[in-house]
Structure 1
Amino acid sequence: MFLRLTTALATLAIAAPALAQEVNLYSYRQPELLEPLTDAFTEATGIKVNVAFLEKGMVERLKAEGSRSPADLIFTVDVARLAEAVQAGVTQPVDSETLRSNVPAAYHDPDGHWWGLTTRARIVYASKDRVAPDEVTTYEDLADPKWKGRICTRSGTHPYTVALVAAMLHHHGEDDTRAWLEGVKSNLARKPQGNDRAQVKAIWSGECDISLGNTYYMGQMLEDPEQTEWANSVNVLFPVFEGSGTHVNISGVAMTASAPNRDNALKMMEFLTTPTAQQVYAKANYEYPIAPGSEPDELVKSWGSFTADDTNLMTLASLQEAALRLVEEVDFDG
């Protein structure tokens, strides 16, 4: 019961009347992550799920389609992308007792425009041979000169990095965050480059000793025969902000402003936040479910536990522009 909509089919759907028992999704998340959920939802409700998988341009597409858009829901990762959709006016607020019960306040828009589904922690990958498990306890510590020439990371302008800098801004203010960025930059073993898995490969090859990355990449590397050795060369460490918890980001869902099948869309949003659906979704990409009573997959549990920073992610999204400006001011990637 899983249908990939091509652009042509989506165009046809614009002109077609909405069907009573269907719901249409635009998704940045990959087919293999959504298919178990869409199948389960259809089996439970009889509502057919149509999915258009997009690599980019979701907001632009929704703005171009306007009120004629066939999309009911959008799926994406990173609070910055969710906030972008809200700011563009392509979403609508949703108020549901089920959603409010299942999604902690830190993980949904205060105005109800988007709702988190799973989280991932921004952690430190550390060499098993060259770094003791208790050597990295805070994000602030990454600016300590003891790490000079030992840190690898992806670009400072990447959304994952900008989100972490935004959290640092929230907790410490502009001057301290600028000093922290300069300190981390001075500790880099090489110019920022590549994705999170490339940093772990660099640790494995001896280029650096620690790197920043998302937790789910450990699971992805372990299932890839070419990358298993990289994964086995590092420990997963959960640093915290001084006085707070570990930085997390989310995958989330929002209802579009047009939503031709609004009732079905709401049913799907509520279904996705149930503990059972949460655990299926989280397991598919080695993430953390957020519904009360839900548990991570056993492999994810094996990496250790942490207390998440409880700052509302929309607060951090509001600091993204200032965070990016600081990254550019210190020429982090230079």
Structure 2
Amino acid sequence: MDRRVVTRRATLAAIGGTAIGLTAGCLGGADDEDVLGDPEYVEGRSDPGGVSMEDLPDLSGELTVYSGRSEPRIGELMEYIESEYDEFSLEVRYDDTADLVGAIEAEAETPADVFYGSESQSMTDLKNDGYTVELSDDVLDRVDDGSKDPDGHWIGFTRRYRAIAHNTEAYDADDLPDDIFAYAEDDRFAGDVMWAPDQGSTQAFLTAMIGIHGEDETREWIEALMNEQDAEISPGGDSGLAQAVTDGEVSVGLTNHYTLADSPGETYDITFTSGDAGAMYNVTGGAVMADSDDQSTAEAFVEHLVSAEAQEYFATTTWEYPTIDGVEPIEEVPGTDEFEPPEFDLNELADPEPAQEILRDVGVPF
């Protein structure tokens, strides 16, 4: 096997106004192994724990991956894994997650060996329709219990949390409530809060709210947010929300934690609620397709994405939370000990229709 290391710094496409550069960075002392990651954030970090790619089975043959994560986000990692093995080639089709699910459903026999979902809903949909196979315990045991399908059909690569964005000139984090329901009740936020109900992540949050708190309480929260607080709807998804909070157009936004990575100014920061749907998380992840001619290699590839190197890459370049023990989130995002996410089954996020029906009833455009 050819153990080549990517040493060039690749300038990738701008995401939300921020270009992300990737390379193989050296962690710590001279004896440390080179690992993937943004050098700006890798420097000074402890060596990643978990299982190294070097200790995983070699990859050989050809695989096709349908990826709902964009090439600017993960392309360098895909190229790196392919470059590690002389007898392995990888073809990645990048597209919107929903479009890829639609393509799989339309194909008589999908050429995809692996599906890489940008959220759990898509993987659950494919599982429920019989398109995926159960992964082995060896792979499933790599990640924490909250980041994998209880039925074993998909595994999470990263976690992303809902968060409360705020303009730091208007609020300190300690000034903000850690209860998601307060944002629809506290007079301080009247006319001064923004959200993005057209985003899949927001609808997943509302779906989690229904599952955790009930449909009636979710409806009351949406009605209060829109009718009593006069919440603004972001003109440009989470990126537009981040810019509006930064510019002081609103002081508070209901969004995702990873907007911090692409935040457009120093006046933007995030905090979290605790123990409620406002602190729910979702995962990016992967599943092996039932139509794959080489399910063994497909599963081995999925396992590479929960290796120490891949998890360090995700932590330092996407600013998302690793799903394995031994790799910590970067210091620029709050530690998970600072809040308490609710316990729930990610499979429950698969059906957004009840949340969408409430949005329609309340008259919220999405």
What TM-score results when the alignment is normalised by the length of structure 2?
Answer: 0.76
Residue 234 (1) aligns with residue 275 (2):
no
Structure 1 residue matching 2:270: 3-state secondary structure: strand
Residue of structure 1 in register with 2:108 after alignment: 66
Aligned-partner Cα distance in 2 for 1:104–1:76? 18
Aligned-partner Cα distance in 2 for 1:33–1:98? 27
Native 8 Å contact 2:315 2:328 kept in 1:
no
Residue of structure 2 in register with 1:257 after alignment: 290
Residue of structure 2 in register with 1:272 after alignment: 305
1:25 deviates by 0.5
Residue of structure 2 in register with 1:289 after alignment: 322
Residue of structure 1 in register with 2:361 after alignment: 329
Q: 1:20 to 1:285 in 2, by over 3 A?
A: closer
Q: Which runs of 5+ in 2 are unaligned?
A: 7-58
Aligned-partner Cα distance in 2 for 1:172–1:301? 25
| Mapping for residues 102-121 of structure 1, pairs under 5 Å | 102-121=142-161
| Mapping for residues 308-327 of structure 1, pairs under 5 Å | 308-318=341-351, 320-327=352-359
Among 142, 153, 165, the residue aligned to 2:183:
142
Aligned-partner Cα distance in 2 for 1:79–1:257? 18
Native 8 Å contact 1:196 1:217 kept in 2:
yes
Structure 2 residue matching 1:61: 3-state secondary structure: helix
Structure 1 residue matching 2:177: 3-state secondary structure: coil
Q: Deviations over 1:153-187 (max 9, x none)?
A: 11x24211111111111221111111111111131
Q: Sequence identity, in percent?
A: 25
Q: Which runs of 5+ in 1 are unaligned?
A: 3-18, 222-226
Code of the aligned partner of 1:190: E
| Mapping for residues 190-201 of structure 1, pairs under 5 Å | 190-201=232-243
Residue of structure 2 in register with 1:10 after alignment: none
Code of the aligned partner of 1:160: S
Q: 1:188 to 1:167 in 2, by over 3 A?
A: same
Structure 2 residue matching 1:51: 3-state secondary structure: strand
Native 8 Å contact 1:249 1:313 kept in 2:
yes
Aligned-partner Cα distance in 2 for 1:302–1:168? 23
Native 8 Å contact 1:199 1:211 kept in 2:
yes
1:235 deviates by 2.2
Q: 1:140 to 1:189 in 2, by over 3 A?
A: closer
1:62 deviates by 1.6
Residue of structure 1 in register with 2:137 after alignment: 97
Residue 306 (1) aligns with residue 339 (2):
yes
Q: 1:283 to 1:305 in 2, by over 3 A?
A: farther
Larger helix proportion of the pair? 1
How many residues are matched? 305
Query: What is the aligned-residue RMSD (CA, Å)?
Result: 2.6
Native 8 Å contact 2:116 2:287 kept in 1:
yes
> 136-145 vs 188-197, which deviates more?
188-197
What TM-score results when the alignment is normalised by the length of structure 1?
Answer: 0.82
Among 200, 211, 214, the residue aligned to 1:159:
200
| Mapping for residues 211-226 of structure 1, pairs under 5 Å | 211-221=253-263
Residue of structure 2 in register with 1:210 after alignment: 252
